[in-house]
Amino acid sequence: MANPAPVPAPPVAPPADRRGANLPERIHGLANLTRNLWWSWQLDARELFHRIDHQLWESTRHNAVEFLRQVAPERLEKRAQEPAFLELYDAVMRRFGQLADRNGTWFASRYPELLDRSIAYFSAEFALHRSLPIYSGGLGVLAGDHCKAASDLGVPLIGIGLYYQGGYFDQQIGLDGWQRDSDDPIDPTVNPVVRVNAPGGGPCLVPLTISGREVQIGTWRVMVGRVPVYLLDTDLDCNDPADRKLTARLYTSAPEWRLRQEWVLGVGGVRVLRALGINPEIWHLNEGHAAFMYVERLRELLQKGVPLSTAEHQIRASSVFTTHTPVPAGHDVFTTEQVEQVTGPFWNTMGIARDQFMGLGNTGPTDPRYEMTVLSLRLAGRVNGVSARHREESRRIWRWVWGNKPAAEIPIGYVTNGVHLGTWMARPIRNLIGEALGDGPDWETRVDSSTIAAAARGLDDDRLWAVHEGLRYLLFHYIREEARHRWRDYWKDPAKLAGSGALLSPNVLTLGFARRFATYKRADLLFRDPERLRRLLTNPRRPVQIIFAGKAHPADEPGKRVLQRIFMAAQDPTFEGRIAFLEDYEIHLAQRMVAGVDVWVNLPRVPLEACGTSGMKAALNGVPQLSTLDGWWAEGFTGENGWAIPLPPPDVEPEPSDMDNLFRILENEIVPRYYDRLPGKSSAAWVHMMKGTLAVTVERFTTRQMLQNYVTNYYVPAAAGEALPGEPPP
């Protein structure tokens, strides 16, 4: 394949702006540091902010930009005089300064010849930091973690997403338990995002025709270590007021609106990259939302006079597609009229007929509709699911696209998702392992994973338990402070105080369950036998408590009903305050929850969970998982890292069987093992499992393994022009 022009690397941090004006000269580099989210997964960089003013650091919820705006100048002056602080500062700034240099990274040492190439990574959501709420759940967290791991490994990735200026909704739950969705727009002044101007000046970068009207697309950029993420928007003075709101909200339920957003992301994304002089060699689509990206690149080739079949082959050879869910709601399907209304007559500029254009995403001769996943399967030559089990499901679901070939011949592979260690392993655990390894603060980028796993297995029992108890204490402290503020500010109702965790005890076995309230995730499985649940929770000698959190999609009425049921149960005195529901689940709360509970619970209806990642996050903190054998657990469960709810026999109803097994494992295995210890001591069998949990996950389920897999088996073969794994769909 031809060598594209080298990509102009954006500065790792933009030049200091007026936000740095208050800073003492000796530590003025802090302003630049806050403009790159790299700090958010560096222990020593976080330590800097913590030392400057730990209360403000907590109250700004680790938002470094906001922190610097609010911090008292005297505090900065004082720290700038302290040798110990300055030593830490210099060490952080030295490492930050080295970011621009990729030499020495895993990618540079493996693939030096590919260093000047780039990989575009399109995703409708990115979870990078709490202060940038442009994600709804696991898909976004995965995209954010993918970018962070790419930075660590030196992989030349460029993220492209949308800047939803309205954010994803804030969750507030009424006294009746019904979720109300309120919007809290993103404030770009307390974020590390910067507007990117056209080379000739001005924020209006490229035009795009949407529903017959020309709309200008602009972009913001956020630096995630070495990786720039471009977030497109249409909220520009040069646009018609009606079009300025196009990108305001994530996953609106109106199909035409969503289609327009996907048109902006897919076609606009390619155009914005070109306008900025960026010409990626490989194009990776994280779920089908941005699949028009393939169509725009097809248009580019067709307009250059490349024949259709050759152009299609070229697009397929350089494109990767990751499908993320077997659940139908996760796959956008539109009518051809809707597609025509938004995109028409794009086919004219491509020089193909309308029917050929529609055929790319067509779901078949009867009931012809347009499906983004089908479009992606036709135009991406390398396709994967996100766990071994999900590959099998995907092959079965999408066989029809290949004319119903046997599932084994469907060219869909898999890369099991992972989680980013630097983001999800809590500081005290990281320090404990770092100490065992005798390495510096960023050991996870240097030490290989089997060495880390061995260190985890060798940890001292009592110390690990003490660290875990400390993390649990922190979670409970956080929960109580949140409850206190909400009680004072807007609930004024004691039942809600009890339901939000004020009665939780730090000495009781604590289960955690937090994720989107999609019904297949079955948050309510335990509630199908309320009496058995009550006996489990309120056992006077060996009580159990459960912490729930999660949002239902604003249009998901059944999901909201499940949430309501749990929310009301949390306030029901018969459970004695042993159930808590925490409002407004997002990554900051997730980080505290996965580290502070004792067991992570995951109950998807098999086979609907493609992978599931929150259990991996808990595992990175030594928290074992109890889960149905779905997604990653089908390959990750080893017997030393948690418990598996067995698959029901083929002729048995899954719900009652799963529920009974869930209770049985809790009653007979988890509770006895946890409480079998002396006061103030750890249970040897329990801590042994904690270590197994840590070891298995650091070795197999971090984004480092995941990204190395993508690079080795997807990106590099695409860059090298290797043969595709299978035939295109007919």
Ligand X SMILES: *Cc1c(COP(=O)(O)O)cnc(C)c1O
Chain residues in the site for ligand X (CB under 6 A): 137-138, 141, 515-516, 585-587, 590, 612-614, 617
Question: What is the nearest approach in angstroms of ligand X to the Cβ of residue 113?
Answer: 35
Q: Which is nearer to ligand X, 276 or 511 (CB)?
A: 511
Question: What is the nearest approach in angstroms of ligand X to the Cβ of residue 723?
Answer: 34
Q: Which is nearer to ligand X, 215 or 590 (CB)?
A: 590
Task: Please give the Cα distance from 612 to 615 (Å, whole number).
Answer: 7
Question: What is the nearest approach in angstroms of ligand X to the Cβ of residue 521?
Answer: 6
How does DSSP assign 185-237, residue by residue?
---GGGSS-EEE--TTSSS--EEEEETTEEEEEEEEEEEETTEEEEEEE---T
Q: Is residue 119 within 8 Å of 284, Cβ to Cβ?
A: yes
Q: Is residue 607 within 8 Å of 630, Cβ to Cβ?
A: yes
Question: What is the nearest approach in angstroms of ligand X to the Cβ of residue 137?
Answer: 4
Q: Which is nearer to ligand X, 192 or 615 (CB)?
A: 615
**Identity at 57, one-letter amino acid code:** W
Distance of CA 77 to the CA centre of its chain: 37
How does DSSP assign 559-590, residue by residue?
HHHHHHHHHHHHT-GGGTT-EEEESS--HHHH
Q: Which is nearer to ligand X, 136 or 252 (CB)?
A: 136
642-645/625-628 β-pairing: parallel
Q: Which is nearer to ligand X, 95 or 516 (CB)?
A: 516
Q: Which is nearer to ligand X, 288 or 612 (CB)?
A: 612
Q: Which is nearer to ligand X, 434 or 615 (CB)?
A: 615
Question: What is the nearest approach in angstroms of ligand X to the Cβ of residue 196?
Answer: 28
Q: Which is nearer to ligand X, 373 or 625 (CB)?
A: 625
Question: What is the nearest approach in angstroms of ligand X to the Cβ of residue 558?
Answer: 17
Q: Can you name the residues that pair with 620 across neighbouring β-strands?
A: none
Question: What is the nearest approach in angstroms of ligand X to the Cβ of residue 496?
Answer: 22
Residue 224 φ then ψ, to 5° = -115, 85
Segments in 241-371 forming alpha helices (H): 241-244, 255-263, 269-275, 292-303, 308-317, 336-343, 346-350, 354-359
How does DSSP assign 248-260, residue by residue?
SSTT-S-HHHHHH
Asked whether the bond before 345 is cis by omega within 30 degrees of 0, the reply is yes
Question: What is the nearest approach in angstroms of ligand X to the Cβ of residue 186?
Answer: 17
213-224/206-210 β-pairing: antiparallel
Q: Which is nearer to ligand X, 171 or 319 (CB)?
A: 171
Assigned token pair, 317: 């050879």
Listed in sequence order, the residues at least 6 apart from 702 whose beta carbon sits closer than 8 Å to its beta carbon are 149, 418, 419, 420, 421, 444, 449, 616, 620
Listed in sequence order, the residues at least 6 apart from 337 whose beta carbon sits closer than 8 Å to its beta carbon are none
Q: Which is nearer to ligand X, 302 or 611 (CB)?
A: 611
3-state class (DSSP) for residue 414: strand
Question: What is the nearest approach in angstroms of ligand X to the Cβ of residue 172?
Answer: 17
Task: Please give the Cα distance from 495 to 579 (Å, whole number).
Answer: 12
The 8-class DSSP code of residue 20 comes to G
Assigned token pair, 92: 């952080």
Task: Please give the Cα distance from 478 to 486 (Å, whole number).
Answer: 12
Q: Which is nearer to ligand X, 111 or 643 (CB)?
A: 643
Question: What is the nearest approach in angstroms of ligand X to the Cβ of residue 433?
Answer: 21
Listed in sequence order, the residues at least 6 apart from 66 whose beta carbon sits closer than 8 Å to its beta carbon are 60, 131, 190
Q: Which is nearer to ligand X, 33 or 587 (CB)?
A: 587
Question: What is the nearest approach in angstroms of ligand X to the Cβ of residue 439?
Answer: 27
Q: Which is nearer to ligand X, 287 or 340 (CB)?
A: 287
Burial of 5 (0-12, 13-18, 19+ CB in 10 A): exposed
Q: Angle CA(485)–CA(486)–CA(492) in degrees, nearest 5?
A: 110
Question: What is the nearest approach in angstroms of ligand X to the Cβ of residue 613?
Answer: 4
Question: What is the nearest approach in angstroms of ligand X to the Cβ of residue 84?
Answer: 34
Residue 158 φ then ψ, to 5° = -130, 120
Question: What is the nearest approach in angstroms of ligand X to the Cβ of residue 146?
Answer: 13
Work out whether the CA dihedral 112, 115, 120, 125 comes out positive or negative. Answer: positive
Question: What is the nearest approach in angstroms of ligand X to the Cβ of residue 511?
Answer: 14
Question: What is the nearest approach in angstroms of ligand X to the Cβ of residue 228?
Answer: 23
Q: Is residue 632 within 8 Å of 611, Cβ to Cβ?
A: yes
Task: Please give the Cα distance from 432 to 449 (Å, whole number).
Answer: 16
Assigned token pair, 346: 């794009």
Task: Please give the Cα distance from 75 to 509 (Å, whole number).
Answer: 41
Listed in sequence order, the residues at least 6 apart from 293 whose beta carbon sits closer than 8 Å to its beta carbon are 120, 122, 265, 266, 267, 269, 270, 283, 285
In 3D, which of 148, 214, 654, 87 has the Cα closest to residue 423? 148
State the virtual CA torsion across 263, 268, 270, 273 in degrees, nearest 10: -160
In 3D, which of 209, 108, 193 has the Cα closest to residue 155? 108
Q: Which is nearer to ligand X, 341 or 705 (CB)?
A: 705
Task: Please give the Cα distance from 235 to 131 (Å, whole number).
Answer: 19
Q: Which is nearer to ligand X, 216 or 325 (CB)?
A: 325
Question: What is the nearest approach in angstroms of ligand X to the Cβ of residue 533?
Answer: 21
Work out whether the CA dihedral 653, 658, 661, 663 comes out positive or negative. Answer: negative
Q: Which is nearer to ligand X, 268 or 512 (CB)?
A: 512
Q: Which is nearer to ligand X, 463 or 516 (CB)?
A: 516
Q: Can you name the residues that pair with 645 across neighbouring β-strands?
A: 628
